[in-house]
Amino acid sequence: MAICYPGPYRVGMSCLAIHLIYDMLNSIKDVACERAFLPSDPTAEVHTLESNIPLSKMDIVGFSLQYETDFINVLRMLINSNIPLRSNSRKEGDPLVVAGGPCATGNPEPLSDFVDLFVVGDAEPVLPRLIDMVAETSRPRARLNELLDVDGLYIPSMNQGSVKRVWVKDLSAASHPTKQIIPHVTGRKELSPVFGETFLVDATRGCGHGCRFCYTGYIGRPYRERATSRLEEIIEKGTKQTGVDKVSLIGSGLSDHSHLVDVCHWIVENAGLKLSLSSLRADSASVELLRILADGGERTLTIAPETGSQSLRNSLNKKITDDDIVQATENAVEAGLRNVKLYFMLGLPGERDEDVQGIISLVKRIEKTGFQSRSIRLSIAPFIPKPHTPFQWFPFAPLSELDSKLKMICSSFGADAKVDVESLDVRWAKIQATLSMADRRAGEVLEYATRAGGTLGAWRRATSEYGNVASFFESSKAPETVLPWDKIQTGVNKEFLKTEMKKALLGEKSPSCLTECSECGAC
């Protein structure tokens, strides 16, 4: 099997899912799993890294789908590898094309004409079953129907009803890769992983806070964490086997780990290792925790206020305040961190110009907490409606509105010595929104855009050729609308999502399921 990341090597090697699947499959007798990434030459045939085998010669070609904008790279890698692009054109002897990851669980429909089988949810409970079927036959394509009743597998070419997401129930009991491949590429930034030479640790999965826009917060429920003793065992073994001296704890609900401070203290003080965290909730960024991070070599506090408007934050069910955010940055300065990175969204439902001004006012408050030149970085992205969230019924904002609001922020900090602003191109955000919310008809547009070069111009020609595929998400949808991803059963019931959507419209908050069950159905 080839486990493929449809993006550059340095990004793919920073993806924990690649390490998890690579290790899991190579631990199975008679399975050889090798890695493949998007070549720097967009016309090059794709080969595996380990043995230089063309993808077309593999039994299974698997893709990890982390971002919708990588869909075009999936098609590009198949085309350049001489694998028939559409699943109905493949024959026995062609690789079985499999895809998993957040986008496969959220809305697999745009890729359904090109992928033979999707893994819906966590890979661990279901991928070995697929491997066994392929290993025991020379005609796996003819036996796909045997997998129709397996929870966590979606076969789009067959008349399949609802598909239940599967997940690891006990994270502490789950396997974890300790012999991770850590690239040593000093001076080769294009090959150096995003986190550097770091041992990646899958500390938590899921999140129970219920931020209504959050994809992983809904398709990843319920919240699970690895026990402290298990984390220490993994880190001790992994850093010894890899030889690295830095650990990165990863998890969407990382701030909620029951013993996060204790784990971080053990990593830095007892094990003598450097440490970074994927992100923190502002209300969990205590001076004690941040001092441990500073002692572990961390220099940046990363938090996500999302907006500078408290009323919008209430609508998002983001249960933090401006004071929480400012306090977190003050704590960072006191602890010795030099930088802060803040994530914001524009184009949220109900957003007004004064809400955007709230972002500017909040950042100006943060400037006064003691950060030095170019030490405050704003990452601005348009709000993109996501499947299986209470915001799936809301529209993507017009490009002109997004451009105007982004200019408002950039002009406010244009000459500011402390603040850097980075933003996602709103045109690519619109494409991401299209692929996030589209049905199977988007496959025609994807194929056209891929063959035309995958540029913004190619997308414009593709949408012109096949009509306005963006119309589905450019207007609000009634709660009774049949959605392309309705057949995917994540565990969160749709009536709960409708209730949360109505609360969002009223600006009402809901309790966290970490403290009080909100009866979403996921448990």
Residue 331 · residue 290 · CB < 8 Å: yes
**pLDDT tens sequence across 338-390:** 999 999 999 999 999 999 999 999 999 999 998 887 799 999 999 999 999 99
Q: Provide the sign of the torsion angle of the four alpha carbons 245, 251, 253, 257, taken in this order.
A: negative
Contacts of residue 188, Cβ cutoff 8 Å, sequence gap at least 6: none
Q: Are 293 and 260 in contact (CB under 8 A)?
A: no
pLDDT by residue (tens digit) across 235-246? 999 999 999 999
Cis preceding linkage at 349, omega within 30: no
H helices of 301-425, in order, are 310-316, 322-335, 353-367, 399-412
The span from the CA of 300 to the CA of 297, in Å, is 9
pLDDT at position 467 is 72
pTM above 0.85, yes or no: yes
Alpha helices in 399-455 (DSSP H): 399-412, 426-437, 442-451
pLDDT for the residue 416: 76
| 3-class SS letters over 69-117 | HHHHHHHHHHHHCCCCCCHHHCCECECEEEEECHHHHHCCHHHCCCCCE
**348, two tokens:** 């949220």
Please tell me the distance from the alpha carbon of residue 421 to that of residue 96, in angstroms, as a whole number.
Answer: 43
CA–CA dist 217, 84 (Å, integer): 35
User: Quick check: 322 and 374 in contact, CB under 8 A?
Assistant: no
Share of the chain above pLDDT 90, in %: 85
On the CB side of 197, how many CA atoms lie within 13 Å of its CA?
A: 12
Domain-by-domain residue ranges, the chain?
2-164, 171-438+473-506
Instruction: Judge contact between 55 and 73, C-beta under 8 A.
Output: no
Residues with pLDDT less than 70, the chain = 468-473
Residue-level pLDDT at 521: 87
Residue among 388, 295, 306 at smallest CA distance from 355? 306
The pLDDT value given to residue 249: 97
Q: Give the type of residue at 258.
A: S
Give the pLDDT of residue 470: 64
Give the pLDDT score at 415.
78
Options 3.80.30.20, 3.90.1150.10, 1.10.357.20, 2.60.120.1440; which CATH number does 171-438+473-506 get? Answer: 3.80.30.20
**Bridge partners for 54 per DSSP:** 47
